[in-house]
Structure formats: C-alpha cells, structure tokens
Structure 1
Amino acid sequence: MPPPPVQPGPPGTSGPLAPPGGLAIRAARPEDLLGAAEARVASWRAAFTGLVPQDFLDSMDPASIATSWADSIAAGRSRLYVAIAGEHVIGYAGVGPERDAEAPPNAGELYALFVHPAHWGTGAGRALTDAACTDLRDAGCTTVRLWVLEANIRARGFYTRYGFTETPDRTHSSLGNLPEIRLTAPLA
C-alpha cells in the first residue's frame, strides 16, 4: 500500500511559517544566502566525512556557494527556503522543477535539504521540508522527488519518516562516484 500523500504546512501559506520551537521558515532573502551556505558546509562536513573526498569538503567555500545560489535564484532555476533561529540561518531547502527529462508530469524536486548539525533533531528539517512541499504543491506539482546518497542512513531515515519511499532508480554522485537512491512522495 503506498504511503499517504505528504501533508505539508497549511495550504496556500505565504510568508514565514512558524513551526514549534522558535523557528521561522521563509523564502530566502539575499542576506540569508551566506548563512545558508555556512549551514551547508557545516552539515556536509559533519554528515559526509568518510563518504565524500576530504579535499572536496575542505575546499567548500560558503561565499562561492552563496554567489552560485544568488545566480540560480535570479535566473528562476530554483527557490530556496531558510530556517531561522533567533537571528541566524540554521538550514535551507532548495526546490524547483524536476531536472530529469524522463520525470513524470507534474513532478517537482527537492534539490537539497541541510541543517547545521548543532540543530539536527530540532524540527528544522521537517519544517523546511514542509515549506518545500508546500511550494511545489502550490506550483502544481503532484509528486516530489529527490536523490540521497545510499550511505547517508540518517537522511534516508528522515525522508522515510516524512513519507518518502525509495524507488528502483539509482545513479552515482559526481563526488567520488557514490551510489545515490531516488526517493519520491505524493503531494496532497
């Protein structure tokens, strides 16, 4: 039996979402991008040490990442949501159209979801996923898909608890040729 459709936040929500725990989720502003990139670097270094080549992890530059995101957002290729705790960006989710040319109609993609490791387990990842799924549903998507490293057991568990299921689709990451698994979830 397939899982029930993902039920992201309130339908038609715009502006900041306020999940429990003092977090705020909002569409990224230009001033948020560096903080989001810093959260990405910290998360990658915590989650991927031993999985991804260390020289890549050591070379990650938040300023370069933020500039790349600004260009992508300005070009309309993706949308970014950030989690704010106090005045600090602690995580982000990137979404947009499914990049796979063979994707089913009305499929969207969760490109990335990363939370600073100091905030793992706080609900920030779930709140960001809610915002990402709401965005995709409001854009007319009926399915959300993503890729996750096969060895990233923590992330796979998170997505499974959220309502994603593994598909038979496999690929290999450009970083060290690591196996990746596609996950999918219906949107309500």
Structure 2
Amino acid sequence: MRPTPDPTALRIRGATHADLTAIAALHTGARAAYHRARHPGTPFDAPAEQARWHDAWAGVLDRADTPALCAERHGTVIGAACYLPHASTARGNAPRTGTARPTVTLHQLHVAPAHWGTGVGRALHTACLRAWRTAGFARAVLDVRWHNHRARAFYDRLGWRPDPDRRPAPDATHLTLALDLTGPAPEAPPSKPSEPSSAGR
C-alpha cells in the first residue's frame, strides 16, 4: 500500500557518506522494480547489484564536482539525486546547434519504490532546478532508458524533451532528454504527481 504523502515531513538535503547504504539500497530497489516489469524473474536486486551501486555512490560522494542530494521522511532516506557539469561545458565545447550554453547533467534520480507517487521525485527535481539556476546553468540533460515509460512520462510533465543535439542510434537503449533552464519553471499539473521509477543509469 502506498504511504500517504506528508509534505511537512519531507526534507531535501545534501547527501553524505552516512547515507550511502540507504541510497545504494533504494537505487537498487528502484532499478529492480522497473527492470522486473520488462524481465520478470531477473534478480536485479541481488547483493552483487547493491554492492555495485554502493561503490558507485561512494565514488559520487567522494567527488567535489558531483553534488548529491537525498530526500528523507521521518528520518529515513527514501530518494537521492546527483548531477555534474556536462562534458561540453567542462571542456568548453560548443554543441552542434551553435553557441555554447552552460549545461548540467542529471546523472541519477531515484526514489524508493514504496514511496513512488508521494512527491519525492518532484521535490528532488525542484531542489536540483534551484541549484542549477543558482549556479548559472542554462540547460540540463539526462539519459533515460527507452522502456522506462514511467520515468519518461515524469520528465515529460516537467518540461524535458528529446535533446536535438543527440539523435539516438537505431539500437540505442537510452534516450537523451534536455531541459531549458532560462525560462520559467514549468508549473506542477493539477493531478496527483507520479514519481520516476528511475532516471539515469
């Protein structure tokens, strides 16, 4: 049963190494949930998978150039996100469409499956937008799996669109989405928000 949202109890803050085990567990659980819908019976939440994402997030938390956020409710970490400057921004390269625009990549955004649909993903996304605009980024990009329709619908509602600078190959497993950060933030739809099962890898 999905928990009742409690906006007053939800807190978004910077993630630390003390959150590492919880973040790895929720990331593994989110990936297992959306992959299982496509590949029933595959053990995407096996201990080896959790160890893999534990190591990956440990690397994120060690890097000064990759800010990480977590969402907690009643003291329990139930969501996480991280982002970093896009390669074109870091190297000073201009995209094919013309003048370079400072770009940030939403590298990961995950919500524990038990808390999908309770506003956690939207709150993390809002916190990322605020940080990106404060830092002066003009554009954001992310990669989402083709078959992850839940996540794709989530980002579509928030204004993300297929990146015109990244045309997917015929055998691509991911779709690159982009968001213009120079205009007003898209307003939340009147209906109950959904959560991404996963974004990023």
Which ranges of 4 or more aligned residues in structure 1 deviate by more than 4 Å?
A: 50-53, 100-104
| 2:7 aligned partner, one-letter code | P
The 2-side partners of 1:69 and 1:59 are apart by 15
The 2-side partners of 1:126 and 1:80 are apart by 16
**Among candidates 148, 173, 177, match of residue 179 of structure 1:** 173
- Select between 59-68 and 131-140 the one with higher mean Cα deviation: 59-68
Which residue pairs with 1:79 in the alignment?
67
**Unaligned segments of structure 2, at least 5 residues:** 1-5, 183-201
**Contact map agreement 1:41 1:60 (CA 8 A) in 2:** no
Which residue pairs with 2:147 in the alignment?
151
Deviation at 1:74, TM superposition (A): 2.2
Q: 1:178 to 1:118 in 2, by over 3 A?
A: farther
SS in 1 for 2:72: strand
| 1:43 aligned partner, one-letter code | A
- Select between 126-135 and 37-46 the one with higher mean Cα deviation: 126-135
Cα RMSD for the two superposed structures: 2.5
Deviations 1:27-62 (A, max 9, x none): 102211211111101101101125479365535443
**Contact map agreement 1:46 1:117 (CA 8 A) in 2:** yes
**Aligned positions, number:** 166
The 1-side partners of 2:112 and 2:172 are apart by 23
TM-score normalised by structure 1 residue count: 0.76
Deviation at 1:179, TM superposition (A): 1.6
1:37 lines up with 2:31 in the alignment? no
The 1-side partners of 2:46 and 2:106 are apart by 25
Larger radius of gyration: 2
The 2-side partners of 1:170 and 1:56 are apart by 29
The 2-side partners of 1:171 and 1:89 are apart by 34
1:128 lines up with 2:124 in the alignment? yes
Compare the two structures and name the one with the higher strand fraction. 1
**Contact map agreement 2:27 2:53 (CA 8 A) in 1:** no
TM-score normalised by structure 2 residue count: 0.72
**Among candidates 161, 167, 186, match of residue 163 of structure 2:** 167
**Contact map agreement 1:94 1:113 (CA 8 A) in 2:** yes
Q: Pairwise mapping of residues 12-161 of structure 1 onto structure 2 (< 5 A)?
A: 20-49=7-36, 51=38, 54=42, 57-58=45-46, 60-99=48-87, 103=95, 104-161=100-157
The 1-side partners of 2:25 and 2:51 are apart by 8
The 2-side partners of 1:152 and 1:29 are apart by 28
| 1:148 aligned partner, one-letter code | V
**Unaligned segments of structure 1, at least 5 residues:** 1-18
